[in-house]
Amino acid sequence: MLDTSLDAVAFCEGARSLAVRGVRAGRAFAVHDWVADEVPVALEYNGISHAVMLATPLDLEDFALGFSLSEGILGAAHELYAVEEVVSELGITLRLQVASSAFARLKERRRSMAGRTGCGLCGTESLAQVARDLPVLTDQTPLEREAISRAMSQFFSFQTLQQATGAVHAAAWCSAQGEVMWLREDVGRHNALDKLIGALAAQDVDAASGFIAVTSRASFEMVQKTAMAGVPLLAAVSAPTSYAVATAQRARMTLVGFARQQDLVVYCDSGRLTLEPSLDNAHAH
């Protein structure tokens, strides 16, 4: 007899219930399970199409604002006047109305890219455009290692979509004490971070007073977006790349990898993160 006791019963926003079958612990089953939604999301600025991303259709206004800020299209949240969400059979279009200054920056970027061959990075067409100017993060508020451990221990309990589907990333903004205050999820790690950045900006959160934790590796794009948001520390569950470390050094960001339970690895410090006194004493002796 097939086991049907694992059927999904609760509503899960951002996912759909599909009939699946398989074998678990040697026993065949046929159930309904949650599968994360993934749809094409196009961003249009004052009527001009700029980018198409594959994303989870949740918190899309946060996504529009965060993407625009982290990519340097908007200089501040107030330059975004409105977001209209248009759904079609092909996906979702986000129609952004932005200030003339932001639109001028976007048009200048598009002119600089005209006639060049792409290099595979979002909206980037030359090596010079990869290493864009980043803010230097001068905030030196000390952060304790225990705060990162506390945040990571809370992380999973807030990831409702991940618990249901096992298919999405999360990005969270945490207080200096390690409390998870804001969290966004998406099938794409960059999208989750953009959604978080947008939420922080929309709520006028003092982002520099805490840190960001992510469930992914720390790529250079993740470091770059965190720096653009003015957040002085990024903690990732997985490893960083060498370019991510170099980018963090350039922005004077504290970069932490392999942040799991009580463990972590510091790749770029800038004097912000303090470890347990017992560890320091052990090295001293």
* Catalytically active residues, by annotation: 119
At 225, give phi and psi (nearest 5°). Answer: -65, -40
Full DSSP string of 175-192:
ETT--EEEEEEESSHHHH
Strand order in the sheet with 48-55: 48-55, 39-45, 91-98, 80-88
Q: Which residues contact 69 (CB under 8 A, 6 or more apart)?
A: 76, 77, 197, 198, 201, 228, 229
Structure tokens at 112: 């600089």
| Element at 90 (helix H, strand E) | none
Cα 215 to its chain centre, rounded Å, is: 9
**Per-residue CA distances from 34 to 89, 116, 162, 255 (Å):** 21, 42, 10, 34
Structure tokens at 261: 């339970």
Based on the number of CB atoms within 10 Å of its own CB, is 90 exposed (0-12), middle (13-18) or buried (19 or more)? exposed
